[in-house]
Chains A and B, each alone.
Chain A
Amino acid sequence: MKFEKRRATTKQEIPTASMPDIVFMLLLFFMVTTTLREVEVLVDYKLPEAEAIEKIENKRLISYIWVGSNKRIQINDSIVSLDEIQPIMYAKRQELPNVIVSLRIDRGTDMGLVTDIQQELRKAYCLRINYSANIKI
């Protein structure tokens, strides 16, 4: 008796014709959602932790101010002094009336400096601020 191997006659391949399309779709998604990092952070900072945290819905409205552990203040790409904050932020506010200022301040900073920055922001009418903090687990 002759045994014959039974084989399926259908093709055993995964159709890959649509693969580029799928990949392009993924690619498009990432391209749209990507916000490339525009600035290089020149100060080092460690954010405080908090629980009652809100997300900022609109990333395009945010303008950052960094304060490093060595008390240096950075806006945009450069280290600035305290007196320079007001004109810079005022210009930003004129460009973007409802700007949210995200303060990325090192956890070891003195409140004196923080208040000084806040005073400058008040003078520049940038009143919406956000103390950047990480989620406490």
Chain B
Amino acid sequence: MIKKRKIKEAEIPTASMADIAFLLLLFFLVATVIDVDTGIGLTLPEYVPPEEIKEVEVPKDRMAAVLINENGDVLVDGQPTSIFQIKNNLKPRIVSKIDLPSNKKLIVSVKTDRKTNYNPYIQALDQIKLAYFEVRDEYSLQNYGKKFNDLLPEQQDVVKDKIPIIISLAEPEAVKR
């Protein structure tokens, strides 16, 4: 006589699967760092050995010299101003040079002392960048009816070409070490 054997269906219990997945999910949620890196971007000039440095004359009306001393006082072209005035000071000058050829655009030169604090320097740089961004936005609104960030890449290039951001970082005088 053959015994009839009922074959049990082989199954892996999946009830706890969700719990396990949740646990893993929790781990990754906790471990994730979602701090987007934000900051002020800049491109440094290439290094030139001191003996090869060539002095290039730049016409005065092309330059906007921003000087920050160790107390955080700001001079723009020799005129004392507050840090938060830099933007308003530069904007009309950037606007006036939109239609000029690229070798006549405004150059903003930032110079600090060795003893200057980092914070006012960033504030000043921020103001300069803001001035450029606002001019770009206004120009884009006038010509394309959109803000700079919403433009097509080609249009952005045109605007960038019209309003290039030229910031020159002057080296602090070595004497004051």
Stretch of B39-47, B54-62, B98-106, B140-148 at the chain-chain interface? B39-47
Tell me whether A31 and B33 are in contact (CB under 8 A). no
Q: Is A115 an interface residue (CB 8 A)?
A: yes
Q: Known contacts A34-B32, A108-B119, A110-B118: does B38 contact A132 (CB below 8 Å)? A: yes
B138 is an interface residue with CB less than 8 A from chain A: no
Once A50-B126, A52-B126, A131-B125 are accepted as A-B contacts, the answer to whether A111 and B113 lie under 8 Å apart by CB is yes
Residues of B within 8 A of A34 (CB): 28, 31-33
- Cα A108 to Cα B7 with chains together (Å): 76
Task: Write out the residue numbers on chain B whose beta carbons fall within 8 Å of the beta carbon of A121.
Answer: 44
Q: List 26 A-B contacts (CB under 8 A).
A: A27-B21, A30-B29, A30-B32, A35-B33, A36-B31, A37-B33, A48-B122, A48-B123, A50-B125, A50-B129, A52-B127, A52-B130, A52-B132, A54-B40, A55-B36, A102-B37, A103-B39, A109-B118, A110-B114, A111-B118, A111-B172, A123-B47, A130-B40, A130-B42, A131-B125, A132-B37
